[in-house]
Structure 1
């Protein structure tokens, strides 16, 4: 099965909307069949090559819906007047259209927003005309599709970045451990080794440091079933970073699926550095290691509460912006955002909320990342 092939149940819609939804699904299916590792491109002056992010604030969007304009942006010309649009093609099933960034490769991440224990995953992505479409599916505890808010990003990189600030890499992997596409800002080749069912070890050579620094994000990619993925373990070293990815199905059993992982150190969650000048991240693992608490303004981020947490990032509240959350640790616990991030007097407040396998809120461990486009 190719990454991203999916056939979401189309909800009853009428007239032009039904026709539009059908053609949209067919177009995305056609684009996503045959996804393969792109040939290495020439070195670029900056990373990433193409990118976009958005926040779906309306879980039942009308035809041609433009989501929150203060929480979407991208690398195409005039994003302020050429916005992201979202189509709903079934219960809990959406296609996010990023204009004018068509092309192969890259990765996508998604994070559910809400307090009900629902989660969202990527179904697939690919070129649609001149744009890039990312298909997203959201599920309630137990695995039934549900309409839900979410944040989503797509990004793709090539070459060695200049300036060489921090480090950045990503992987899109199959259940067998074969790598569909990958990027490493140090010029290395990322690899994946499968373990037991639902377990993989990822090696990112040349990135990071021997102590924990930076941020990790992981997203399940499954076209046909509810799946959740997380970082089960992380082992930094001077020669690179080792991360263990664990995935589960809706019944909380270990599950083989596709997934994306990204690592960023002194870089925004979608890859760039300087600009944007306003981004940050934080890893909570019972404590907050200093190298995983980063704010591009030089301020110190803070953590408070637990259900939900409040992560405060001073001096970087510059819309348009985005955020992602990934759970950390063994077991089927998972995390999202309780509600959209807040901005006040230059400060951003994120509200990570974690759940056990039954969908009940709990205190747990997580990675979270925030970035402005600027």
Structure 2
């Protein structure tokens, strides 16, 4: 699968968005034989940045890393905003070793962001290759790479979401952006109504500014994903600068050789909201940031329970009272260096609690303990 991203003028606060061409995607679908199709569409202009509930969203967990054509991944770990997702499921096609296209039905439209997290203990990571409106749905390309960069089959979790609408109530926040390598925003959303921005610094380094959300201390959760249709790429958060006027995140991206690398990337930030943006429902969600400790306002549980963390390889994050399928999880690495984090295995539900198993890797691909963000949500 190959994608490209148009370079558009930066969007500013409370101004109408310019029309954004959707990424062209050449999808080779395995239906009796490999079928090549170049997908390209011009999307309509979207409104100003602001939203409480996502207009369109879907998530899934690919439990079979070598799926047959039209594979329906784990039904208990997929859902979406389209009609009857239980009987109209997400499907996945494998395009080749480590290369997949995830088909979310009936949610075609402009903008949005996608995130992906690999699920394995071997250090194979996954990135978004791109996404495109395909007929009435959204196709998200995913590629997975073993340490060193070769394509490799892996299970993964994947999320797509797009928002517009009214501001959130006080105390809650949700924002996202999709940045080109040069810092131009392809799409963005901010529940305060402000305009997010991305500033490119040295190779593989950016500052993301999200005005009007969060607070002067560490508050909420952030997830970041590399978007690149070519070589292996990984992105992480290296710094977080909270303030009363907004949040600054430093994002760093690396190629498969661990060198700083300029690529497209997505970022989502949430405070007392699920990772894909909704208020209630879902009633069952939570998140936790580990940076050597757990800052109090960066661990949240919608059931009012206390989340716990056991640091290890992998670590175990337990969120009591929120285990409700269909559900979803994402992990992002934090800190300096080219290491990365993901999930060691699928999350486990037991007696109403969910356990997540984040695992991190050194730049050489060895498992280690390191800081991470993790987020969990149910659809309900």
Distance in 2 (CA, whole Å) between partners of 1:17 and 1:164 is 53
Shift of 1:253: 0.2
1:279-332: CA deviation from partner (whole Å, max 9, x where unpaired): 000000000000001000111100003100000000000000000000001110
For residue 159 of structure 2, the aligned residue among 153, 176, 179 is: 153
**Correspondence for 1:17:** 32
Shift of 1:247: 0.1
Equivalent runs, 1:312-327 vs 2, <5 Å:
312-327=318-333
Equivalent runs, 1:79-118 vs 2, <5 Å:
79-118=85-124
1:138, 1:148 within 8 Å by CA — same for their partners in 2? Answer: yes
**Correspondence for 1:137:** 143
Distance in 1 (CA, whole Å) between partners of 2:241 and 2:48 is 30
Matched, 1:54 2:60: yes
For residue 202 of structure 1, the aligned residue among 177, 198, 208 is: 208
Distance in 2 (CA, whole Å) between partners of 1:165 and 1:159 is 17
Distance in 1 (CA, whole Å) between partners of 2:186 and 2:331 is 23
1:102, 1:131 within 8 Å by CA — same for their partners in 2? Answer: yes
1:125-181: CA deviation from partner (whole Å, max 9, x where unpaired): 010000011000000000000011000000000122455560000010011111110
Matched, 1:343 2:346: no
**Correspondence for 1:2:** 5
1:11-59: CA deviation from partner (whole Å, max 9, x where unpaired): 9x7xx4324x424xx33xx25xx67x94316976x41110000000000
**Correspondence for 1:229:** 235
2:258, 2:363 within 8 Å by CA — same for their partners in 1? Answer: yes
1:171, 1:190 within 8 Å by CA — same for their partners in 2? Answer: yes
When the two chains are superposed, the root-mean-square deviation of aligned CA atoms in Å is 1.8
Matched pairs, number: 361
Q: Which runs of 5+ in 1 are unaligned?
A: none
1:227, 1:255 within 8 Å by CA — same for their partners in 2? Answer: yes
Change (3 A) 1:5 1:144: farther
1:91-149: CA deviation from partner (whole Å, max 9, x where unpaired): 10100000000011000000000000000000000100000110000000000000110
Q: Which runs of 5+ in 2 are unaligned?
A: 7-22
1:213, 1:292 within 8 Å by CA — same for their partners in 2? Answer: yes
**Correspondence for 1:76:** 82
Matched, 1:332 2:335: no
2:79, 2:85 within 8 Å by CA — same for their partners in 1? Answer: yes
Distance in 2 (CA, whole Å) between partners of 1:333 and 1:183 is 28
Equivalent runs, 1:194-343 vs 2, <5 Å:
194-343=200-349
Moved more, 164-173 or 232-241: 164-173
1:76, 1:100 within 8 Å by CA — same for their partners in 2? Answer: yes
Change (3 A) 1:42 1:234: closer
Shift of 1:358: 1.2
Distance in 1 (CA, whole Å) between partners of 2:305 and 2:337 is 33
**Correspondence for 1:40:** 47
Change (3 A) 1:43 1:22: same
2:60, 2:79 within 8 Å by CA — same for their partners in 1? Answer: yes
1:162-201: CA deviation from partner (whole Å, max 9, x where unpaired): 5556000001001111111000000000011111000000
User: Which structure 1 residue ranges, 4+ long, deviate > 3 Å from structure 2?
Assistant: 3-8, 41-44, 161-165
TM-score (norm 1): 0.93
Distance in 2 (CA, whole Å) between partners of 1:233 and 1:43 is 25
Distance in 2 (CA, whole Å) between partners of 1:130 and 1:5 is 16
Change (3 A) 1:185 1:71: same
| Structure number having the greater helix percentage | 1
Change (3 A) 1:58 1:266: same
SS at match of 1:79: coil
Distance in 2 (CA, whole Å) between partners of 1:159 and 1:69 is 30
SS at match of 1:49: strand
Shift of 1:7: 5.9
SS at match of 2:61: strand
